Amino acid sequence: MAERKLPGSFRLQLLALLLAFLGALGLLAQAYGRSALLSQKAEQLNLSVGLARNGAEAFAGCGSLEEAALLLGGQTQGEDLALAFFDGAGQGCDPEGAAYRMEMAQTPEGREEGWLYTCEIRVYRAEDDQELYALTTTRYQPGGEGGGL
């Protein structure tokens, strides 16, 4: 009788081992998946910080939002909004097939001797419009009439 019970017990142990093994596999696969996702996010964040910084530099160095947009390969939509599209490597491209979209929205504020332009720069992932990075920068433009666009 004892000889007949052993294989059953062994199978039970094997089954428990298999379940534990599968559980460990599942946890490891989940950890791998998360790390891959985090790595992808880090890459996108790194690139979007660079794009936003370029946008801020262009806004600071160019005389107007339109010039800044042209420098970055984008274009303005109205007076206070500029859009630029970039591929996965951060190079300027057409809206179709773009991996990133950058929006530059400026708000002019009249001062006694000029205009203070505040620009909000936001970088989005093109596929799902998720915001990846945003920064705000300002530029003062002297001149009685505000030196608008």
Partner 1 sequence: MDPKRGRGAVMSLALYTMMILALLALVTFGSRLYAGLTQNRQQNEQVRASLSTLVTALRASDAEGAVSRKEGPEGPALCLRQEDTGYESRIFLYQGGLYQQLCPQEDPFDTESAQLLAYTDRFEAEPEGRMLRLTTGEGTAWVALRCEGGEGVG
User: Where along the sequence are the contacts to partner 1 (CB under 8 A)?
Assistant: 7, 10-11, 14, 17-18, 21, 25, 28-29, 32, 35-36, 39-40, 42-43, 46-47, 50, 53-54, 57-58, 60-62, 71-72, 89-91
Q: Smallest distance from the beta carbon of 113 to partner 1, in angstroms? A: 18
Q: Smallest distance from the beta carbon of 97 to partner 1, in angstroms? A: 18
For residues 41 and 110, which CB has a smaller minimum distance to partner 1 in the complex? Answer: 41
**CA dist list (Å): 45 to 31, 48, 125, 142:** 21, 5, 10, 35
Rounded to the nearest angstrom, the gap between the alpha carbon of residue 76 and the centroid of all alpha carbons in its chain is: 21
For residues 10 and 148, which CB has a smaller minimum distance to partner 1 in the complex? Answer: 10
Cβ atoms of 117 and 107 within 8 Å: the answer is yes
Ramachandran angles phi, psi of 105, nearest 5°? -115, 120
Q: Smallest distance from the beta carbon of 72 to partner 1, in angstroms? A: 8
Q: How many residues does the chain have?
A: 149
For residues 60 and 110, which CB has a smaller minimum distance to partner 1 in the complex? Answer: 60
Residues 6+ away with beta carbon under 8 Å from 138:
116, 117, 118, 119
Q: Smallest distance from the beta carbon of 1 to partner 1, in angstroms? A: 15
For residues 94 and 129, which CB has a smaller minimum distance to partner 1 in the complex? Answer: 94
CA distance 82 to 116: 18
